[in-house]
Amino acid sequence: MATDLVPEVAQPAAGSPRPASTPRRKRRTPNFWRYRWLYLLLLPGLAYFVVFKYLPMYGLTIAFKDYVPFLGYSGSEWVGLKHFQELFTGPDFGRLLFNTLLLALLTILFVFPAPIVVALLLNELRVNVLKRSVQSLVYIPHFLSWTIVASLTYLLFSVDFGVIANWIHGLVGGQKTDYVAQADWFRPLIVLQLLWKQTGWGTIIYLAALAGVDSQLYEAARVDGAGRWRQFWHITLPAIRPTIVVMAILTSGHLMDSGFEQIWLMTTSLNRDVADVFDTFVYYIGITQGSFSYATAVGLFKGLVGVVLIFGSNFLAKRLGQRGLF
């Protein structure tokens, strides 16, 4: 029969190693060597974070010690959670927490949405010259220092020579109001400063996200009869929603950071009760009074709260169906 002409293939004995079916592949060049120049460009940034961000974290150990500069880190006495207990049970903690969280809430309500609104408005402009001019004007305040911003605030709202203060007094009459010194006007001025200084710079990110939207989507929507509002709601807003989520997560980590320089420059003896936040309190306690361990404990508390807020907001974003930050 024809099957008798097929030679029988010898089977390997039981327990003997199977012969390699294919020759061993040559090892590929390691990715590290292939992209060595990119890794070399990474070194300066990596060195910056290691030297200025991670190595100083060793100094956080003084939050658990009665630090004495002459004794150093290792020679200072270990006291555990003593400074944290003093912080949470002290008379200043409630006031500091309230002032910090209230400024954070005002920032979320007014400052965070402002770049989104400005970016959406700029995206609707069709005259490129006007659009670029407005962009340049709203970007400029970001490059001014807080010292200049505070000086301008005093020039505009001071009771003696404030331009806007005198203009308001001319409209409403009555006794002049010192907007800079009064505690009731401290938080509105802080919010106005943040809006003026940071709104333009924040629009860059959202304008970049809007630039990636396919124009054919708008054309198809117009063909289907969608107006400007429906185009905004169904095309523009979903396009920048991932960017909004990422920026919200990043912002949540800085809710306890009220900005030392801005608060310090706007603080007076009359508004100190509402102006004191954790950032300025660390300066008062750590620098002016020399309580380095206590000030470090306050800073470590702020950092831990920021980490918890970032992970919590990222988890919440994923539960709501968004991609999240990590």
Confidence (pLDDT) at 296: 92
Q: What pLDDT, in 10s, does the model give residues 39-94? A: 899 999 999 999 998 998 888 899 999 998 888 888 889 998 999 999 999 888 99
Output the pTM of the full model. Answer: 0.81
Query: 5 in a domain, yes or no?
Result: no
Determine the Cα–Cα distance for residues 12 and 190; give it in Å rounded to an integer: 83
Identify whether residues 42 and 116 lie together within a single domain.
Answer: no
Number of structural domains found in the chain = 2
Identify whether residues 248 and 107 lie together within a single domain.
Answer: yes
The answer for residues whose C-beta is within 8 angstroms of residue 242's C-beta and 6 or more apart is: 209, 322, 323
Identify whether residues 158 and 264 lie together within a single domain.
Answer: yes
Determine the average pLDDT of the residues in 148-153.
93
Identify whether residues 110 and 155 lie together within a single domain.
Answer: yes
Identify whether residues 65 and 137 lie together within a single domain.
Answer: no
Q: What pLDDT, in 10s, does the model give residues 101-115? A: 999 999 999 999 999
Query: 326 in a domain, yes or no?
Result: no
Determine the Cα–Cα distance for residues 273 and 187; give it in Å rounded to an integer: 12
pLDDT band at 22 (very low <50, low <70, confident <90, very high): very low
Residue 198, domain CATH: 1.10.3720.10
Determine the Cα–Cα distance for residues 300 and 81; give it in Å rounded to an integer: 12
Identify whether residues 131 and 268 lie together within a single domain.
Answer: yes
Query: 54 in a domain, yes or no?
Result: yes
Identify whether residues 171 and 45 lie together within a single domain.
Answer: no
Q: What pLDDT, in 10s, does the model give residues 130-147? A: 888 888 899 899 999 999
Cβ atoms of 176 and 235 closer than 8 Å: no
Query: 180 in a domain, yes or no?
Result: yes
Q: Which residue, 65, 19, 216, 199, is CA-closest to 119?
A: 199
The letter for the amino acid at 68 is V
Query: 132 in a domain, yes or no?
Result: yes
pLDDT band at 97 (very low <50, low <70, confident <90, very high): very high
Identify whether residues 45 and 114 lie together within a single domain.
Answer: no
| Containing structural domain, residue 56 | 37-77
Cβ atoms of 145 and 122 closer than 8 Å: no
Query: 316 in a domain, yes or no?
Result: no
Identify whether residues 69 and 141 lie together within a single domain.
Answer: no
Identify whether residues 211 and 184 lie together within a single domain.
Answer: yes
Burial letters 274-283, b for 16+ CB under 10 A, else e: bbbbbbbbbe
Identify whether residues 154 and 256 lie together within a single domain.
Answer: yes
Query: 323 in a domain, yes or no?
Result: no
Identify whether residues 202 and 72 lie together within a single domain.
Answer: no
